[in-house]
Chain A
Amino acid sequence: MNGAQWLVKFLIQNGVTEIFGYPGGAIMPFYDALYKSKLKHLLFRHEQGAIMAAIGYARASNKIGVCVATSGPGATNLITGLSDALLDSVPIIVITGQVDSKLIGTDSFQEVDILGMSLACTKYSFLVNSIEDLQKTVNDAFYIAKNNRPGPVLIDIPKDIQLKKICSNFNYVIIKDKKSLFINKITDAKNIIMKSKKPILYIGGGVFISKATKEVRKLSYISGIPSVCTLKGLGVLTSNDYYYLGMIGMHGNKSANLAVQRSDLLIAIGARFDDRVTGKIDTFAPNAKIIHIDIDESEFNKIRVSDICLLGDIKYLLSNLYIKPDIISWQNEITILKKKYQWNYNYIGKKIYAPFLLKLLSEKININTIITTDVGQHQMWVAQHIEFKSPNSIITSGGLGSMGFGIPAAIGAKIAKPSNQIICISGDGSFMMNVQELCTIKRRKIAIKIILIDNNRLGMVRQWQELFFCKRYSETNLDDNPDFITLSKSFGINGHSISLKEEINSSLEILLNYDGPYILHVIIDELENVWPLVPPGSSNENMIEKKYD
């Protein structure tokens, strides 16, 4: 058995059933080992598609996603995906072929120092220097990707090492954590909570990663503490949770932002005080004490100094915080805020208002539906107007904001959850960034649905140009877009276009009930904006709102 054959065997033995990739010269021994093996491989048309599918797979399944590419350009095409996985804490393993060991450092064909490049965009990365190191390296890589705060791990394997014979009597030594996880400040945290008159639960993506949704819901129910979430915390709580106000931040609900600003205690759970959440940090929740709960110690005091830091597994820590402070007047204030700032779907004219379409979609989809998005206006509309019932029902590029994420992530999610309805909601700018993966959908007849919200513009950038750059619309006009339906049909994907309100309902029914992949092309007004909005550098209470006629 050679190194490549052992690696395929290892992946199978460790429960990996499907990998995503693109072959090339330096990874050929691995692809040869893959040939007729039990490990399924989905061929993408660009390495970025493959790695984003691995992310979609990992986020839908909460398991490790695996991606493979060759050296040189194959490896460099993975950088955006690695960065995306790092910022969103997604456990993926990326295997790259490297030129022969003896050629490393000679500027040989398709040689790049991917180890060097990966230092800033992986949780860890390895260059395998000998066949004797391969087994330990791969074992370590899987451990690192999944444990503590998850993240991407890259394994770069020279071609000659893939081909060398391997001794398979390897005994793996279990890695010991560097530090004890739990710092016992629970009693202090409880005291602060009980003294608080205006507490808020601030829920982030770490809740889903640590599988603590049940514990957060229980804490919310028992304590009656009002709650808000980040983009990646969507779905942890729902409208069934009475004092839940939705998403905070730049495009968050006004009620959620105001509640946080008025709070005297913020309990941050698996959240990291991102600038899109806090607005101007000096004015964020100015009167609030902070209890920060996270598994990554480096998040503590990074942006905002905390009064109590609880380091460890959220699931475990929360189960020690089930208490009920006396906050009736705060709950009443929250109820008033919630009623005052509900979404308004009144829209004059015949054109399609994307938030209304998404609200209608939200009412039609079942609890197992997974939505992936690209990045831009449509992404924020999805976050605002679709009600997610569980945290893995939205897969979006939160930290990095990678356009082109939606289609490959949807493919990965469908591979992970074949019986679930998977819908990719994209914009015309993002759609074109990984449009080649329509061919991947065709290849495997992957039954994902795509809603393409098209304003012939790079909508979010155009919106900022309108509001903050004196309407100087520099390079945001996309009115030379292709005919999206003709394009999709050339990849064997059926679909149709709509531009009128009256077409929405029947078109969503067609989309959702179509047997196979389908694209609904939705033409909207080019001047439509995402509201409300916290202007850059402003405090979260200074939201600009839509003016209704």
Chain B
Amino acid sequence: MIEHKLKISAHYAPEILERILRVSRHRKFLLRKIEVNQIIEKNDIFIKLSVHSYKPINLLVTQLMKIFDVFNVKIEN
């Protein structure tokens, strides 16, 4: 298993965390750590996500980018 860190930028929606966590779980990336910051004046949200998996992290990145609210996913390591 390899640990990966992602920085995700998204428009805020009440269920955005559920969407991100569901996709991560379903695509077999297990959650290790999560940090969430909402920028209220911009209605944006920034999420730092640590996941581990046997799969290449790009497979998760492309799935997360399909979420309508997500506008950027950056691999940190």
Closest chain A residue, CB of each to CB of B26? A120
A297 B68 Cβ-Cβ under 8 A: no
Residues of A within 8 A of B66 (CB): 123, 296, 298
What CA separation (Å) do A122 and B65 show in the bound complex? Answer: 15
- A37 contacts the other chain (CB 8 A): no
Instruction: Please report which residues of chain A, range 377-414, place their CB below 8 angstroms from some CB of chain B when the two chains form the complex.
Output: none
* Cα–Cα distance between A140 and B69 once the two chains are bound (Å): 11
Q: Which residues of A contact B32 (CB under 8 A)?
A: none
Q: Are B15 and A301 in contact (CB under 8 A)?
A: no
List residues of chain B with CB within 8 A of the CB of A302: 59
How far does the alpha carbon of A144 sit from the alpha carbon of B66 in the complex, in Å?
A: 11
Check B68 against A144 for contact (C-beta < 8 Å): yes
Q: Which residues of B contact A178 (CB under 8 A)?
A: 65, 71
B38 at the interface (CB under 8 A from A): no
Residues of A within 8 A of B62 (CB): 297-298, 300
Q: In the bound complex, what is the Cα–Cα distance between A119 and B18 (angstroms)?
A: 8
Q: Which of B15, B19, B26, B65 contacts A297, CB < 8 Å?
A: B65
Which residues of A in the span 70-118 have a Cβ within 8 Å of any Cβ on B? 115-116
In the bound complex, what is the Cα–Cα distance between A241 and B77 (angstroms)? 49
Indicate whether A124 reaches chain B with its CB closer than 8 angstroms: yes
Contact digits for A110-151, partner B, Cβ 8 Å, 1 yes 0 no: 000001100110011001000000000000100010000000
B68/A119 in contact, CB under 8 A: no
B19 to chain A, nearest CB (A): 6
Interchain CA distance A120-B19 in the complex, whole Å: 8
Q: Pick the contact of A116: B18, B58, B59, B71 (CB < 8 A).
A: B18
Task: Look across to chain A and name the residue whose beta carbon is closest to the beta carbon of B70.
Answer: A178
Please, how many angstroms separate the alpha-carbon atoms of A115 and B16 in the complex? Answer: 11
Contact B15 A119 (CB under 8 A): yes
Q: Does B7 contact A (CB under 8 A)?
A: no
Contact (Cβ within 8 A) A301 B59 = yes
CB-CB contacts below 8 Å: B14-41 with A:
14-15, 18-19, 22, 26
> Which of A296, A297, A301 is close to B56, meaning CB atoms less than 8 Å apart?
A301
A240 to B62, CA, bound (A): 38
When distances are taken between beta carbons in the complex, the residues of chain A under 8 Å from B14 are 127
Q: Which of B26, B58, B63, B66 has the most CB of A within 10 A?
A: B66
Chain B residues with CB below 8 A from A296, complex form: 66
User: How close is A138's CB to chain B, nearest CB, in angstroms?
Assistant: 14
Chain B contact patch, size range? 10 to 19
Q: Which residues on B sit within 8 Å (CB–CB) of A140?
A: 68
- Complex-state Cα separation, A301 to B58, whole angstroms: 9
Q: Which of chain A's residues 340-394 have a Cβ closer than 8 Å to chain B?
A: none
Q: Is the CB of A298 within 8 A of B68?
A: no
Contact with A along B40-67 (1 / 0, CB 8 A): 0000000000000000101100110111
Q: How close is B12's CB to chain A, nearest CB, in angstroms?
A: 12
Cβ 8 A contact of B15, one of A115, A123, A179, A300: A115
Pair B26/A116 contact, Cβ less than 8 Å = no
| Pair A298/B22 contact, Cβ less than 8 Å | no
Residues of A within 8 A of B71 (CB): 178
Residue of B nearest to A151 (CB): B66
Q: Across the interface, name the chain B residue whose C-beta is closest to A298.
A: B62
Instruction: Give chain A nearest CB distance to B53 CB in angstroms.
Output: 13
Output the nearest chain B residue to A118 by Cβ-Cβ distance. Answer: B15
Per the 8 Å Cβ criterion, residues 188-208 of A in contact with B are none
**Residues of chain B lying within 8 A (CB to CB) of residue A298:** 59, 62-63, 65-66
Closest A-chain residue to B65, C-beta based?
Answer: A178
C-alpha gap A302/B62 in the complex (Å):
10
> Chain B's nearest CB lies how many Å from the CB of A345?
44
Contact status A124-B68, CB under 8 Å? yes
Complex Cα gap A119–B62 (Å) = 17
Residues of B within 8 A of A179 (CB): 65
Q: How far is the CA of A119 from the CA of B63 in the complex (A)?
A: 13
Please give the distance in Å from A89's CB to the nearest CB on chain B: 12
Beta-carbon nearest neighbor of B64 in chain A:
A298
Shortest C-beta distance, B76 to chain A (Å), equals 20
User: B59 near A119 (CB under 8 angstroms)?
Assistant: no
Q: In the complex, which residues of chain A have a beta carbon less than 8 angstroms from the beta carbon of B19?
A: 119
For A123, what are the chain B residues with a Cβ–Cβ distance below 8 Å?
Answer: 66, 68
For residue A115, which residues in chain B have a CB less than 8 angstroms away from its CB? 15
Cα–Cα, bound, A123→B69 (Å): 12
Q: In the complex, which residues of chain A have a beta carbon less than 8 angstroms from the beta carbon of B59?
A: 298, 301-302
- Interface centre among A116, A123, A297, by most chain B C-beta atoms within 10 angstroms, is A297
**CB neighbours of B18 from chain A (8 A):** 116, 119
Chain A hits for B67, CB < 8 A: 124
List, sorted by A's number, 16 A–B pairs whose CB atoms are closer than 8 Å.
A115-B15, A116-B15, A119-B15, A119-B19, A120-B26, A124-B68, A127-B14, A144-B68, A178-B65, A178-B71, A296-B66, A298-B63, A298-B66, A300-B62, A301-B56, A301-B58
Known: A115-B15, A124-B67, A298-B66. 9 other contacts (CB 8 A): A119-B15, A120-B22, A120-B26, A297-B65, A298-B59, A300-B62, A301-B56, A301-B58, A302-B59
- Please give me the 5 A-B residue pairs with the lowest Cβ-Cβ distance, nearest first: A298-B62, A297-B62, A124-B68, A298-B63, A119-B22
